[in-house]
Structure 1
């Protein structure tokens, strides 16, 4: 349902609705007049569409909207389980997420999957800047989840879906067969079961003035490992362009990996003989293992959601309202259970006794030499993969609470108010573990008493012997592995908290005669004031600091005061050549505690319908995004370090070669500096030192960098949209819209290192780049980092730099075709044509356009030129049955190496003949719904009904952060999905 249809029908619905105090939610405006025309394009997804899709998670709903960058945290091995939303491929930091017009939570801590799909009435996606209405973060647009908070009765929803994919022999299994890696059976794979159960209840009391509703939702997903799909049977590697394919391999094998670190065989590498005898054979890739077969293609997870809505109308002047949402999500990334290499610790090699009873005489001689059989301990390198024990897990526990409340009502003729707030708290706990160095050594230190082998140490803590000297010796030995990892799960917890107070007063000035003489409605105005405070607290326990990271605990805070005004002014209505002419505007002032300056945002919009059939619309927004709490901290927090790579001061002489001096020692020869005299003067260097050898970075320690110390300013975007909406009267039920969008973002917030500023200064001489050089009195750039120097370094870090752009067209169409006694057919279409998506990182760099390309040169978003969704739904006249067919189209992509664009890193030498193009993909989804009774319906759905296999590419981690040989976020990577569901109303 297009936003235009919503706008046109809301007034009629409000009149027909017996509950006249129902709140109207208008996305993109704080003015809630039901007939307000949408001047910016809005895509809406209804609850019916969500049910037809059989979506369990919000990400599945959003991934089908062309204007939203595809993301799939549940099909991403390294995910932390949280779902963010990225409009226009501009990053989640630039997309504001609302629930019923109020913020979901903090930008750094939100998880959109806390929103239960069964309670969503619709999802509105406003593309384009909306900072003037909602505040910072709305540079790319707004996603507003409209909840069914007026529910009455009892409703149960149950959904179950699973994958039914036909594994067929293909490229991956061909390559993997050469390594002897186990592959899935070539046949039908039925797996990945997911369940979504919800119960909702609502009641109205006191003449419908009091309403309360509550819900509880449970979701659970089973693990699908890489090994369950032919396309991910091993990680394909292509070592050189168009070169032969191979599989990633691991030395962590079930036959073990042994390397003496002393004696005559020091440094040699062996594995235990696969035949089970206690002998060694030299390690070779033929005996390597598949390191990723157990990784998560679909992560196992379990989530509980609960919450409710309440409102009580005391009088027309005061209605109290509140809502609460709570969730708890547990998920994990799985890894093979292993004894890690001793190089993973700082303690040095493991130690083994030359009298270890597990070693044969031949093995003892190989490891210990002449000391074989003695009680001497010698260093050894061991690696081992367990079989038949639970996987090692990176565990994520996400918990959150969101509470809103307030009071609203009318306080004078034509005037109303809404004073409320949001409290949101999201807490994420990460738990990582690995066998401890000490316990591995304890398990290696074993003795034999009358043939019974036991640990010599740590018996009180349950030490069990570890036998690394025979193939498959630790099959199903969960007790040993539990001892090795017991009490080793270190925890790191980050809590993000939002305090948000909002006050809005709006009035219809037409009540006082303030209106255009050609308009029926008067001017509407809204005033607002807002306070927000973001807090972040992080803490790690001792085990986390020891095994993972020693980052310090943090407490970060940032707050903002804002004030805004918004106006809607109909100029003409129901006039010749002006069925509607209206202008809208908004202005907002913001003051952040992290920045000394106050900044402003604004919008200007116009809508003109010369006749009811045609509406022209346009808007321009000046949107500004302040840095997130984390970005502000990254910008201001300082640290120092050495530039360890080959780097030379741009004002020092360049090294052109070496000659042999009289004493036989090599002597460098020098040429002119990289930078000009003017550029070096801009770095603070005296002209007398230009080109002096004293500026060369010391060969022993190098030059110094300083990260941080910046005040990160807001980035500014000018968002323009121009479009037309057609609703021809000669074809009732048809609505078509086309909108051009232009998003130009300046002073982008991002991270740049010393090399960026060095090159920029050398090539432009601009102050922005050259001011990053902070020289010592003698002009050098070397200092002692530990002494917190005030001079002698190059700056780097998170700051404002250059430009990001996103341009294109949005198309929407809806058509309702009545068929008389045969029912009706509804068509819903949305498509996006992207013409520019890229950035210009500096004035001296070319602008890159990533549309239609992937891989390399910053083109990691996989932006096709054209994507669309087309859904057709036939419903019988008695509404007993409906069938819905959806067509999803994803345009083709070409690798940047074959783009012919130098700005994308392409050159004549980069052109590939293999794996350089992904053809267009078309998916078809079918949904059948049976309304058995008024209160009972049953549905069956099949997504990717043709079971189309995803594209396969080597080195996929370098392209899409996936080791599954595809782009999991963009394509249906697991194949056909079957879903069944039911809704029961009591």
Structure 2
């Protein structure tokens, strides 16, 4: 009942800031016409940036908007593609990312998705950990507003980087069908990758023009008004499907390029999982030797070599195949001016997969040890039996063996992801007194993700290996009742087209883990125009406006897994995490002067919010202060400062508070223990003898870890060879992080150039006590290098100084801490530039419209501690500290010509991405660069320019047809080795930033009935 009551609490209202179709920057613009339309149609004014719904509200913070016209010109199939073109949004490409789970989240200012709040019509889309922005149908988007900078005081504590507000056409009347089909038309030309891959005999795509990657987006929308337009009902259904494009379909990804040393020779990643079969005895005279079955088909072994290796990634997904259904509806009924009831629902179901070749895995993938094979296995030749078993050849003795096999001409294995979500909003709004209105409502959002992985079970492989020859018929000894199929690992290509073996090893092995994120959100807002009661400045036409709000949110995460997942992946799958927050806020708009000399508009705004999270003992506050001054209507100055605070998400909170222990499995040595400088063999015992030197850390640093001086360099500090040292994660409270966001800008709207609006805004975002995950190595290395308590206090030693413990008997000491915690600062500084110009050409020629948005980033990075240098990653890529690929300058410029009768329009868009330099060549010590890191090859990505063309034909009022070409020049993406270390892509490029698949052609139509 508590959740139901909370759900019935209020909702947000917003006022329209945009007069320009692609830009919301005019701080003086009169939006009353747009506002009136919204009010008449739906009873609600939709604005981004304030809960006060004053129609002529002015934008004190920079807002970028993308309109439905621009989305249609782009022929976007999903929201992901729309967002990637906005300069303030960090590019992301979940559909071109092999390891994706299919969900799209948004990162503003490169500050992480946890710091960007996503709204639909002013209300939260869902939980921060579980949302998928691609559930929003592109055909129903009226515009997308991006408000960058802190907005916590208005929207909630997690709007640190800003908000993205999707304004939907939820007031549609009639019936409308939209169809969009697009595909890639790319010219494959031999290049660097194909040259290297040729040396390995890897198959490459055919040269010349290829078409692939077809995607379809079909939607149907219907709406109707009743009872003298007091009631409105509309609904939509949307279907999307995308075909697989494998890595092997592009010459730039024919193999994964590897550069072993700086400026060294290039090679391809190779795999021992081949159709020939990999065999390695684990006992006997040839133990550890690696063989392949002879490719000539004889049952003999040849030594394993790269010349016979396979391409491990040729079938990986460059574009992931997926299928999605979206559906929803909107309803409202205006009982009177005092009460309008509204409800909206959105549902989606998305299925996608990451594909990879079917394989018989190495036994090292399991915890059960090597496979076992009989020395009289009927598939082995005498020579093979001798190589594997030695003198036991021909007997029934079992010996350990290592096997790897790539199964060809059978279905690929898939990592399957099914995402399903439901979002319901509802409430009541209206006027309850002169000048006063209210909105009480809430959001229920539930997103469920099923993750299914498969692979041969260890027991089934051993069953298939344990075979005997019965009168010429080879059959399994065990598991016959369940259809065991004999496996022949001792001849080349024995698993090719072997569907019976594939079915036995793979069928029924898909284990599933289910994670469900649920949001209960109730909001109540009361706003008033105090000017109704004469409370206003003597120099202003409008009075003081005020809004009060109260909000409750509960965020839940539940997860569980089936028996197969627990057996083959992890038995630690059950989770129930939850936290809730109570918040209250107040917001003011105070016009001081309007239409006066030297003050066409002078206004100040402010907001304050208190938040109390169940996961934190403290109550914390956020606030904003804004000022707008237009000395004349042609020019407006604006400034704002926001103090935004973000509490940890439910997952971060759990990671911080839940205590878990583990062993450091890598070769780790206590920084205060002696180091091994040499090793020799004792001639008597035959055992290795180590010669030790000084510790890697100074005595001062070790003292800061709590170590007594007399134990410095003692051999007793060495991590035990059998279990290693211990780390502990969690066991503490993660405090909220705090961001101070300042913006200063100017908007020009010269009367002598009607239709021109330009703006420039400086943004400064400084994030303190940044929440993040750091492992034990981060603290260990930091302590060694700085001796500062910030790092060294993470060492919690036993009384004897050691770092190894059994948490069951000693949970309080003997470990290094790691996990989610607060550290020092993250920063993002720069400039936003926007412009719009509507140019009538006169007579019967038509008109030209220009829209421009550009961002100059001057600082993007972090400072891990006050005594460490600040990292600035702008213009750099690669390296441990710069993974966001932030160009100094990016922009979009769209020009559109429209005929006077609007029968035809042509739109050309220019996307510019600034150059990037590898951190190794930055010359910045804070980025790990010095003279030894300078590279001569693969150290720079030149600026990239993409051009997109769209043609629209409005055949008649009810029918329009569009043709679009994105990346019309088919520009090839930059190629770099070791791309996974740079951009988590094995396709030799940064898939999220560049058009990796080439030219895209689209055909779309809209039909109104």
Shorter-chain TM-score tier = over 0.9
Residue 108 of structure 2 contacts residue 162 of structure 2 at CA under 8 Å; is this kept in 1?
Answer: yes
From 965, 983, 986, the equivalent of 2:988 is: 965
Q: Name the counterpart of 1:816.
A: 838
* Aligned pairs for 1:683-694 within 5 A: 691=712, 693=714
The structural deviation recorded for 1:627 is 0.4
1:417 maps to 438
- C-alpha contact (below 8 Å) 2:23/2:836 kept by paired residues: yes
CA separation of 1:286 and 1:559: change in aligned 2, threshold 3 A: same
Return closer, same or farther for 1:172/1:152 CA change in 2, 3 Å cut-off: same
Deviation of 1:555 after TM superposition, in Å, equals 0.5
**Paired residue for 2:939, among 916, 936, 950?**
916
CA contact (8 A) 1:689 1:779 kept: no
Counterparts in 2 of 1:782 and 1:483: CA distance versus 1, 3 Å: closer
TM-superposed deviation, 1:780: 4.8
1:925 aligns with 2:917: no
- How far apart, in 2, do the equivalents of 1:910 and 1:885 lie? 42
Instruction: Look up the match of 2:825.
Output: 803
Paired residues of 1:66 and 1:831 also in contact (CA < 8 A)? yes
CA distance in 1, matches of 2:872, 2:696: 33
Check conservation: 2:676, 2:690, Cα contact below 8 A: no
Look up the match of 1:791. Answer: 813
- Residue of structure 1 in register with 2:476 after alignment: 455
Of stretches 401-410 and 773-782 in structure 1, the one that deviates more from structure 2 is: 773-782
How many aligned positions are there? 984
Deviations 1:593-649 (A, max 9, x none): 000000000000011111111011110000001001111111111123345666666
Which residue of 608, 613, 618 maps to 1:587? 608
Cross-structure match for 2:921: 898
Is the Cα contact below 8 Å between 2:823 and 2:864 reproduced in 1? Answer: yes
Distance apart, 1:833 and its partner CA: 0.3
> Does structure 1 residue 323 correspond to structure 2 residue 352?
no
Tell me which residue corresponds to 1:732. Answer: 754
Work out whether residues 654 and 674 of structure 1, in 8 Å CA contact, stay in contact via their aligned partners in 2. no
Distance 1:961 1:654, change over 3 A: closer
Output the CA distance in 1 between the equivalents of 2:713 and 2:34. Answer: 79
Q: For the structure 1 residues 22 and 819, does the alpha-carbon distance in structure 2 shift closer, same or farther, using more than 3 Å as the test?
A: farther
Residue 545 of structure 1 deviates from its aligned partner by 1.9
Aligned to 2:960: 937
The alignment's C-alpha RMSD in Å is: 2.4
Would you say 1:715 and 2:719 are equivalent positions?
no
Q: CA contact under 8 A between 2:27 and 2:638: conserved in structure 1?
A: no
1:279 Cα shift?
2.6
Change (3 A) 1:692 1:423: same
Report the Cα offset of residue 709 of structure 1. Answer: 1.0
User: Quick check: 1:526 aligned with 2:563?
Assistant: no
> What are the residue-to-residue correspondences of 1:724-873 with 2, within 5 Å?
724-758=746-780, 768-778=790-800, 780-820=802-842, 821-873=844-896
Q: 1:479 is matched with which residue?
A: 500
**Residues 799-829 of structure 1: CA distance to partner in whole angstroms, max 9, x if unpaired?**
1110000000000000111122111111000
Q: Which residue of 2 aligns with 1:380?
A: 401
Report if the CA contact (8 A) 1:656-1:671 is conserved. no
Structure 1 range deviating more: 783-792 or 268-277: 783-792
Which of 74, 77, 102 aligns to 2:95? It is 74
Q: CA deviation at 1:389?
A: 0.8
Tell me the distance in 2 between the aligned counterparts of 1:35 and 1:368: 87
Residues 31 and 173 (structure 1), Cα distance of their counterparts in 2 relative to 1, 3 Å cut: same
Contact 2:27 2:628 in 1 (8 A): no
* Cα distance, 1:931–1:666 mapped onto 2, change above 3 Å: closer
Deviations 1:247-303 (A, max 9, x none): 000011111112233344333222222222333222211110000000000000000
Residues 1:282 and 2:303 aligned together:
yes
Secondary structure of 1:581's match?
Answer: strand
Q: Is the 8 A contact 2:327 2:346 kept in 1?
A: yes
CA–CA separation in structure 1 for the residues paired with 2:876 and 2:649: 29
649-658 or 974-983: which moved more? 649-658
Structure 1 position 574 matched with structure 2 position 598: no
> Which runs of 5 or more structure 2 residues have no equivalent in the other structure?
1-21
Unaligned runs of 5+ in 1: none
* Match for residue 297 of structure 1 among 318, 322, 326: 318
Give the 3-state SS of the residue equivalent to 1:155 in structure 2.
strand
The answer as to whether partners of 1:640 and 1:786 remain within 8 angstroms in 2 is no
Larger mean CA deviation between 552-561 and 770-779 belongs to 770-779
**Residues 241 and 692 (structure 1), Cα distance of their counterparts in 2 relative to 1, 3 Å cut:** closer
Residues 895-919 of structure 1 deviation map (CA, whole Å, 9 limit, x = unaligned): 0000011111111011111000000
Contact 1:133–1:588 (CA under 8 A) maintained in structure 2:
yes
The 3 A distance-change label for structure 1 pair 229 and 237 is same
Structure 1 residues 201 and 345 mapped into 2: Cα distance closer, same or farther (>3 Å)?
same
Is 2:58 the partner of 1:37?
A: yes
Q: 1:226 aligns with which of 223, 247, 269?
A: 247
Native 8 Å contact 2:834 2:852 kept in 1:
yes
Question: Are residues 21 and 855 of structure 1, via their aligned partners in 2, closer, same or farther at CA, if it must alter by over 3 Å?
Answer: closer
Query: Aligned partners of 1:703, 1:350: CA distance in 2, in Å?
Result: 31
> CA shift at 1:779, angstroms?
5.1
Q: How does 1:345-384 map to 2 (within 5 A)?
A: 345-384=366-405
Q: Does 1:601 align with 2:622?
A: yes
Matched, 1:953 2:976: yes
Q: Is the alpha carbon distance of 1:283 and 1:645 closer, same or farther for their aligned partners in structure 2, counting shifts above 3 Å?
A: closer
Distance 1:650 1:77 in 2: 38
For 1:613, which of 631, 634, 638 is the aligned residue?
Answer: 634
TM (norm. structure 1) is 0.96
Report the Cα distance in structure 1 between the residues aligned to 2:958 and 2:704, rounded to whole angstroms: 76
